[in-house]
Amino acid sequence: MTIIGFVRHGVTAWNKEGRAQGSSDVPLDEEGIQMAEQVADRLAAEQWDIIYTSHLIRAKKTAEIIAAKMPGVGLVEDARLRETGGGLVEGTTEAERIEKWGEDWKLQDMGFETHESIVSRGLESLDEIKKKHAGERVLVVSHGSFIKRMLNELVTDTMYEQSLDNTSLTIVQLSDEHNICQLFNCTAHLQKTVEN
């Protein structure tokens, strides 16, 4: 059985502005880097064997910060772990979309990456990871919408609709019979206060 720990990247300026990021290469802001440091401290205290990451800079930087606190743990970049392609809406806020395309913009062809494309590339990557790292604990640093789609494909007894928080940890146990979500959207590392 293989354990996958999905980590969403740290926060970006576009996250805060409510801008659709998709495949746009938006960097972490200062708070995002600090959040990545916090999740790195948490994960360094646990046993993980290897880290895989999306090639987009916000995920890759988060993964590099995590890897820096885990000497000897490899880091592998995989473009198939990237965020869902957002087509024409990337870089826009909801208000800007309504102003540009009207209230029914979601019904128009915005050039979004198809669900089939996202699931196909994502499951292909995760299947390779499962085979290559059987019995290991693997971190996958990626993106909110992508992770949620993968979770709903891997764990079919529950529908995961809640958005994932930045640097949240979601752990899935993969087995040939039945995949189990052991932890969902956990951000306990962000709530830690300095103890006297």
Q: What pLDDT is attached to residue 176?
A: 87
Q: Which range of residues forms the domain containing residue 168?
A: 2-86+114-191
* pLDDT at residue 183 is higher than 60: yes
How far apart (Å, rounded) are the C-alpha atoms in residues 43 and 170?
Answer: 12
Any domain includes 168: yes
- Has 14 been labeled as part of a binding site? yes
Q: What pLDDT is attached to residue 106?
A: 93
Where residue 124 falls among pLDDT bands split at 50, 70, 90? very high
* pLDDT at residue 194 is higher than 80: no
Quick one: how far is CA 174 from the chain centroid? 17
C-alpha distances out from residue 160 to 78, 84, 94, 114, Å: 24, 17, 23, 19
- Has 12 been labeled as part of a binding site? yes
How far apart (Å, rounded) are the C-alpha atoms in residues 4 and 7?
Answer: 10
Any domain includes 25: yes
* Residue-wise pLDDT tens digits, 62-121: 999 999 999 999 999 999 999 999 999 999 999 999 999 999 999 999 999 999 999 999
Any domain includes 108: no
Total domains present in the chain: 1
- Has 9 been labeled as part of a binding site? yes
Tokens 């206060």 found at? 193
Q: What pLDDT is attached to residue 193?
A: 56
Q: What pLDDT is attached to residue 196?
A: 36
Active site residues: 9, 83
Any domain includes 95: no
* Residue-wise pLDDT tens digits, 131-177: 999 999 999 999 999 999 999 999 998 899 999 999 999 999 999 88
Query: Residue 171: which H helix or E strand, with range?
Result: strand 169-174
CATH number, domain at 23? 3.40.50.1240
